[in-house]
Structure 1
Amino acid sequence: MTGSILVADDESGIRESLTIVLEDEGYNCTAVKDGQEAVEAIDKHSFDIIITDLKMPKTDGLGVLEYALQHSSNTLTIIITAHGTIESAIEALRKGAADYILKPLDFDEVLIRIENLLEHKNLIQENKYLREQIDQEYNFNHIIGESDAMKKVYKMVERVSKATSNVLITGDSGTGKELIARAIHSNSDRSKKPFLAINCGAIPEDLIESELFGHTKGAFTGASSDKDGVFVAAHGGTVFLDEIAEIPLNLQVNLLRVLQEREVKPVGSNSHVNFDTRIISATNKDLEAEVEKGNFRDDLYYRLNVVEIPLPPLEQRREDIPLLAHHFLQKYNKELKRNLKGISSEAMSAMMTYQWRGQVRELENIIERAVLLSDNDYLQLEDLPVAIRKSVDSSEVNITMDSESLDEAVKVFEKHHIQSMLKRTEGNKSEAARLLGIDPSTLYRKMERLGLSD
């Protein structure tokens, strides 16, 4: 094991013996003879663990503990105490000590206690890191897109995050429905509680009831123990039901009751379990049409669709393509240990023109592939699949880049793309706006901002 440990004890025999044992196990040890020296050491160095005797001159073990809690909050403190002062050890635990050890010391026990505390500390730090990463990744402020269509989505996410109402996210596959669901959870009062996602279309029909509602031991073959369903397991947090349209019709009535009563009856059980979980669902199908066809219950649809957030396809937010492409370029440069400096104007023009049927997910996959396989400093048109290369006549591309600024690059590509659409429609702005997936008024504003004359 590795780690930095401070040993504070006024008995030289205990201090020296403990230091030798710990250093033999690979720990980096600092030994001091009283509480004042311990405080000074805490000011100078960072320790994973402090092992301090309770009774010491100048400053006692409780004083060392209190100083460590104030000035080195990530450090764990173990109190060494005699049998006659065990009440003081309990007081130390109440004040924030991680553990206490009784004299005479059993060094094997000391090593086990230290190992367990370090593993616990590492787990806490790892969870904190993961939480920070998730918060950064799924906070809606970090979702890529500056188009008018995405700004509407941001406003919806901000508005519904603080509520508890059920939310239905709609949009084509690949538009980022789970990302939006996680953003809602991350910006809600439930952010510290679980977020559980379940793909209703990927679970066999005979198992989906168990996954949703849970089961008891022996309820069916293979049920070797009790299991909570997602609604109970995410108590206090959020459940994301992706591909909700794939829920079998015979289970929809059970799901409706669960949403109404906020309680589930596990498979094989005669009792109900209450839960407090927010429900966010998503679909790439037209649920109203599914209701008309008899494939989806209308009462369940209205229960799920308290608030609907429709995600725009990429063709309605083409001005976001340069932002997305550069974002994915940076992401996969880091993940794949490459160093592409940017994207050529020809490649970007092709991506701006291409019809992204796989939406943002397809764009990300294309950039990942190109970053992995490209032998160039800049991602070139030749690095893209044939289908994308065919989407633009590269001979017409004459963009020149005078700035490394991403904002300026976006303006250049946006200006070029609008010019291309106007050329294609022979100057018909209404038709150009339709092809761009924006309102004519938005097109006029962009033309004015970009300095495009009539």
Structure 2
Amino acid sequence: MNTSPRQKILIVDDEPDIRELLEITLGRMKLETFSARNLGEAQALLQREHFDLCLTDMRLPDGTGLELVQHIQQRDPNLPVAMITAYGSLETAINALKAGAFDFLTKPVELPRLRELVSSALRLPTAGGLSTAIERRLLGDSPPMANLRKQIDKLARSQAPVYISGESGSGKELVARLIHEQGPRASRPFVPVNCGAIPSELMESEFFGHRKGSFTGAVEDKPGLFQAAHGGTLFLDEVADLPLSMQVKLLRAIQEKAVRSVGGQQETVVDVRILCATHKDLEAEVSAERFRQDLYYRLNVIELRVPSLRERRDDIEALAMHVLKRLAKDTGQPEARLHPQALEALKNYRFPGNVRELENVLERAHTLCENRTIEAQDLRLSEGNCTADGAMADLTQVDNLEDYLESVERKLILQALEETRWNRTAAAQRLSLSFRSMRYRLKKLGLD
């Protein structure tokens, strides 16, 4: 970390003791400090000086720290602002993060946590290189992708928890990695975990670790995922699959910033940024009482939606070319070309599996094609997911009309659920069904 005197920190607090504590602590870090007692003084200093970080109390004599965050966001959005709040004012801190604050501290200020926050803020990449780096990894020039890149750029400069929503295969983990890699924790671990893949009886041990002898098979001490991600980012994929008992323990770990291993007597302090994702409608899961509302609000400080491939068809050609180049490099063969009709078929396909399905389709076609040219038939796309009208059913594929109609009904209902992020009410409206009729069909098809 560059700690030259040129790095300037603005401290905004009306309590002299707090200002002095912050000035002494930051001075020992060889940082230059400027202090303001109120909102007016802070705004005046911001006009005269360039700062690398601002620390502000929430309550000020002539306004609030939230107003200062908003003021800075409008005039210098690249300046990180950390909010100092009273202990237990979690809602205030969350509002600050939503307004654009980098992070928050609670009173009484813990000096190790203060130094950690300041060091993290000063490691932020300079604004300019972010968008270029994201663009190289997140392909596509469509408006939805341009907006997504802009949001990633902004969220990388924050420590706010982010809930990444989107359909399966749309690239949620890539988005999480980019947020991590473009932020101040880039040199620290990025630990992804699929919450649906861990057996429920092993979850506590996997997340928090265990001590030797704490249960049968615990032959040595083992750190958990939180400890492994210390200083970095913990990405909870398919977080909606966590059982309620584990949700309680996860909430406590996030709130207390500490974990206790299975069989352990003491808590271990952990510093992790939480990013989570699921293809399900998390709000609907809360309504159905399958997901805790308090955990939902703690994780969903900021929601970032990843668009489906259907919403950015203009990107399909660029994505396909990128995949074919990669396949040629991986196999050591000349690059295959897409026949115009094959490209048109891809653009007319619904891609329920999104980018992941596009990659699989092209990998199969790359193997099957002749003369290094991928024809439309090489793609082997499912007709049920093509958007072209007028296709007739192949009667040789229909053994039983009732079963066939039920399979079509199932596909359409699943498609509507995926397009509405598993919001049953919205899916029913999409299919012009009453909610009661939708509920009946879901039960009949075993989708409830």
Q: TM-score of the superposition, structure 1-length normalised?
A: 0.55
Residue 243 of structure 1 is matched in structure 2 by 238
Residue 327 of structure 1 is matched in structure 2 by 322
- Aligned equivalents of 1:350, 1:291: Cα separation in 2: 39
Q: Provide closer, same or farther for how the CA distance between residues 219 and 350 of structure 1 changes in structure 2, counting only shifts above 3 A.
A: same
Where do residues 365-384 of structure 1 align in structure 2 (5 Å cutoff)? 365-384=360-379
> What's the CA shift for 1:231?
1.1
> What's the CA shift for 1:276?
0.9
Larger Rg: 1
Match for residue 253 of structure 1 among 237, 248, 254: 248
- Aligned equivalents of 2:374, 2:384: Cα separation in 1: 13
> What's the CA shift for 1:179?
0.4
- Aligned equivalents of 2:132, 2:375: Cα separation in 1: 28
Q: Deviations over 1:216-262 (max 9, x none)?
A: 11111111111111111111111110000011101111111111110
Query: RMSD of aligned C-alpha atoms?
Result: 2.5
1:302 is aligned to 2:309 = no
Three-state SS of the structure 1 residue aligned to 2:343 is helix
Residue 350 of structure 1 is matched in structure 2 by 345
> What's the CA shift for 1:304?
0.4
Where do residues 25-64 of structure 1 align in structure 2 (5 Å cutoff)? none
Instruction: Give the counterpart letter for 1:347 in structure 2.
Output: A
- Is the 1:245–1:283 contact (alpha carbons within 8 Å) kept by the matching residues of 2? yes
- Is the 2:239–2:277 contact (alpha carbons within 8 Å) kept by the matching residues of 1? yes
Three-state SS of the structure 2 residue aligned to 1:175 is coil
1:176 is aligned to 2:166 = no
% identical equivalent positions: 45
* Structure 2: unaligned runs, 5 residues or longer: 1-129, 390-448
Three-state SS of the structure 2 residue aligned to 1:354 is coil
Match for residue 157 of structure 1 among 152, 155, 160: 152
> What's the CA shift for 1:378?
2.1
Q: Provide closer, same or farther for how the CA distance between residues 386 and 197 of structure 1 changes in structure 2, counting only shifts above 3 A.
A: closer
**More divergent stretch after superposition (365-374 vs 194-203):** 365-374
- Aligned equivalents of 2:133, 2:220: Cα separation in 1: 34
1:317 is aligned to 2:312 = yes
How many aligned residue pairs are there? 262
> What's the CA shift for 1:392?
7.3
> What's the CA shift for 1:146?
1.1
Instruction: Give the counterpart letter for 1:312 in structure 2.
Output: P
Residue 79 of structure 1 is matched in structure 2 by none
Q: Deviations over 1:78-105 (max 9, x none)?
A: xxxxxxxxxxxxxxxxxxxxxxxxxxxx
Residue 414 of structure 1 is matched in structure 2 by none
> What's the CA shift for 1:328?
0.6
- Is the 1:350–1:392 contact (alpha carbons within 8 Å) kept by the matching residues of 2? no
Instruction: Give the counterpart letter for 1:357 in structure 2.
Output: P
> What's the CA shift for 1:342?
1.9
Q: Provide closer, same or farther for how the CA distance between residues 140 and 297 of structure 1 changes in structure 2, counting only shifts above 3 A.
A: farther
> What's the CA shift for 1:377?
2.6
> What's the CA shift for 1:181?
0.5
Match for residue 145 of structure 1 among 140, 143, 164: 140
Three-state SS of the structure 1 residue aligned to 2:271 is coil
- Aligned equivalents of 1:389, 1:272: Cα separation in 2: 54
Q: Deviations over 1:72-128 (max 9, x none)?
A: xxxxxxxxxxxxxxxxxxxxxxxxxxxxxxxxxxxxxxxxxxxxxxxxxxxxxxxxx
Match for residue 274 of structure 1 among 262, 269, 277: 269
Match for residue 204 of structure 2 among 188, 199, 209: 209
- Is the 1:190–1:238 contact (alpha carbons within 8 Å) kept by the matching residues of 2? yes
- Is the 1:140–1:157 contact (alpha carbons within 8 Å) kept by the matching residues of 2? no
- Aligned equivalents of 1:155, 1:301: Cα separation in 2: 25
- Aligned equivalents of 2:150, 2:303: Cα separation in 1: 13
> What's the CA shift for 1:382?
2.3
Runs of 4+ in 1 over 3 A off after TM superposition: 135-141, 388-394
Three-state SS of the structure 2 residue aligned to 1:227 is coil
* Structure 1: unaligned runs, 5 residues or longer: 1-134, 395-454
- Is the 1:214–1:229 contact (alpha carbons within 8 Å) kept by the matching residues of 2? yes
Three-state SS of the structure 2 residue aligned to 1:235 is coil
- Is the 1:237–1:278 contact (alpha carbons within 8 Å) kept by the matching residues of 2? yes
- Aligned equivalents of 1:306, 1:207: Cα separation in 2: 28
- Aligned equivalents of 1:362, 1:390: Cα separation in 2: 12
1:187 is aligned to 2:182 = yes
Q: Provide closer, same or farther for how the CA distance between residues 137 and 360 of structure 1 changes in structure 2, counting only shifts above 3 A.
A: farther
- Is the 2:189–2:233 contact (alpha carbons within 8 Å) kept by the matching residues of 1? yes
Instruction: Give the counterpart letter for 1:256 in structure 2.
Output: L
Q: Deviations over 1:1-45 (max 9, x none)?
A: xxxxxxxxxxxxxxxxxxxxxxxxxxxxxxxxxxxxxxxxxxxxx
Where do residues 273-292 of structure 1 align in structure 2 (5 Å cutoff)? 273-292=268-287
Instruction: Give the counterpart letter for 2:322 in structure 1.
Output: H
